[in-house]
């Protein structure tokens, strides 16, 4: 294959996986005589990940390192890798080896058919609890009902992009970002392929329930204003219910004389209205917080060091 390929791999405390990941990538691509670079983005790792990456670079110049100044998060680390990727085609993948490097040729073959974006979807989840699988399914079902774009069930950040798609993604400058959402939003010609997910090689997943909830909030506030419409409709519904109740008691008082509502019904009404108000304030607050973050215009990330990369522009 004649195209120059970049692999972008965010890394956060993955010292036990990196050597094996590198070996499997090389074993997969070298027999194809592929011309490629591997860009590891060290996202503020506190273990020995950076030392291992430096050792790999010393043995193979195709290994390049973007060492961020601290942990900025997986989404931003991915953006940093795309910024320094020079390939005609870029493959984004994770470092936990659940996305098998041996599947990269399948992505490339689909790309050669003329697709700008090729997304890899897992056929099934391995080594995950029933609870996590159910939560994930509910997550995608809820998100797709709210946001304006479409996220396939069990989508992952195992994605191939051609140079046109990469350049389009680099035009996005929001600080709170969701990579898969951006890929869906750009709308270029895309294809989907399915792979068998492996168990994590070593280490533990960095995502927990709180992380999933934060991701859901970021996705919803970034790709939909439906929650704000919900606040409006809920407020109108409560107002209408209150008006009907006032009308009911007004008529009852005229027909039957003065009537005093019970304490329970009064408290239920107050708690219901108070709960709706707090929920509405919370939803609006999430959007205001996002606006606040974006208007600060801080750099998306800062680079501590570039190894094997000549571009010394250390802030976007």
Boundaries of every domain in the chain: 4-207+299-307, 226-295
- Superfamily classification of domain 4-207+299-307: Spore Coat Polysaccharide Biosynthesis Protein SpsA; Chain A (3.90.550.10)
**252-310 pLDDT per residue, tens:** 767 776 555 565 567 667 767 777 777 778 888 878 877 877 787 888 899 999 999 98
* CB count in 10 Å sphere of residue 181: 18
Encode pLDDT of 115-171 as tens digits.
999 998 877 655 555 556 666 667 667 776 777 767 766 667 789 999 999 999 999
Percent of the chain whose predicted confidence (pLDDT) is above 90? 36
Other CB atoms within a 10 A radius of the CB of residue 278 amount to 10
Rounded CA-CA distance 279/281 in Å is: 5
Query: Could you give the CA distance from residue 183 to residue 282 in angstroms, rounded to a whole number?
Result: 29
Tens digit of each residue's pLDDT (9 = 90 or more) over 42-64: 999 999 999 999 999 999 999 99
Angstrom CA distances, 151 to 79, 180, 218, stand at 19, 8, 14
Question: Residue 140 has what pLDDT?
Answer: 67
**3-state DSSP call for residue 60?**
coil
Instruction: Give the C-alpha separation, 66 to 11, whole Å.
Output: 10
């Amino acid at each position: 294959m004649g195209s120059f390929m970049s692999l972008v791999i965010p890394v956060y405390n993955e010292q036990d996986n990196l050597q094996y990941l590198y070996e499997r990538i090389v074993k997969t691509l070298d027999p194809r005589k592929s011309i490629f670079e591997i860009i590891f983005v060290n996202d503020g790792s506190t273990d020995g990940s950076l030392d291992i990456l430096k050792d790999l670079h010393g043995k193979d110049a195709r290994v390049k390192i973007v060492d961020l100044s601290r942990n900025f998060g997986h989404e931003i680390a991915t953006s940093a890798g795309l910024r320094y990727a020079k390939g005609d085609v870029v493959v984004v993948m994770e470092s936990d080896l659940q996305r098998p490097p041996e599947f990269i040729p399948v992505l490339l073959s689909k790309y050669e058919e003329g697709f700008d974006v090729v997304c890899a979807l897992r056929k099934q989840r391995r080594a995950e609890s029933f609870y996590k699988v159910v939560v994930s399914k509910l997550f995608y079902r809820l998100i797709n009902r709210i946001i304006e774009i479409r996220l396939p069930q069990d989508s992952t950040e195992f994605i191939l992009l051609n140079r046109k798609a990469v350049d389009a993604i680099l035009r996005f400058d929001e600080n709170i970002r969701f990579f898969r959402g951006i890929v869906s939003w750009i709308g270029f010609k895309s294809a989907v392929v399915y792979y068998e997910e492996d168990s994590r090689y070593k280490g533990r997943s960095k995502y927990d329930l709180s992380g999933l909830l934060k991701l859901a909030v970021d996705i919803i506030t970034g790709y939909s204003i439906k929650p704000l419409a919900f606040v409006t409709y809920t407020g109108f519904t409560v107002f209408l219910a209150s008006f009907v109740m006032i009308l009911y008691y007004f008529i009852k008082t005229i027909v039957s004389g003065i009537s005093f509502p019970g304490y329970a019904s009064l408290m239920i009404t107050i708690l219901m209205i108070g709960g709706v108000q707090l929920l509405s304030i919370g939803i609006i607050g999430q959007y205001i917080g996002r606006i606040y973050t974006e208007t600060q215009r801080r750099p998306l990330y800062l680079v501590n060091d570039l190894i094997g990369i000549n571009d010394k522009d250390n802030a976007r």
